[in-house]
């Protein structure tokens, strides 16, 4: 299930794929920010309202940008999911998102996978 973004708004791509019995993966790409957080919230709410989803994995590998509203939306989604007995965790993240989530201290709560640092992309590192 793809969720369309009206033209002229910040771009957010959300795709929901089944990932086993009572599990889904939500693929998120583009920008998760003040302008798009409601779209993400709507997608997660739809999954929770189905009643048959027991685990939601969120894949942020294609996320180009996240601001404080986007981070807050992830945190609230995790908390609400836990309250209704649904496991919510990040299963993959972009380097940018991983850094932001770690700096803000929400990485562990969101189930952020172990960091893998790619130094080949860093200029001037000895």
Asked if 40 contacts 7 with a C-beta cutoff of 8 angstroms, the reply is no
Domain locations along the chain:
24-116
pLDDT at 20: 87
The string of pLDDT tens digits covering residues 29-53 is: 999 999 999 999 999 999 999 999 9
CATH code that applies to domain 24-116: 3.30.750.24
CA distance to 43, 47, 79, 115, per residue, from 16 (Å): 8, 9, 20, 25
Place 118 in a pLDDT band, splitting at 50, 70 and 90: very low
């Amino acid at each position: 299930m793809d969720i369309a973004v009206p033209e002229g708004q910040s771009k957010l791509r959300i795709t929901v794929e089944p990932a086993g019995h009572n599990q889904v993966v939500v693929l998120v790409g583009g920008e998760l920010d003040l302008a798009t957080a409601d779209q993400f919230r709507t997608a997660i709410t739809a999954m929770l309202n189905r009643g048959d989803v027991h685990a939601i994995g969120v894949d942020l590998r294609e996320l180009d940008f996240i601001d404080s509203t986007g981070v807050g939306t992830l945190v609230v989604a995790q908390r609400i999911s836990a309250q209704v007995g649904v496991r919510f965790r990040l299963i993959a993240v972009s380097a940018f998102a991983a850094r932001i989530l770690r700096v803000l201290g929400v990485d562990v709560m969101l189930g952020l996978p172990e960091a893998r640092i790619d130094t080949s992309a860093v200029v001037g590192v000895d």
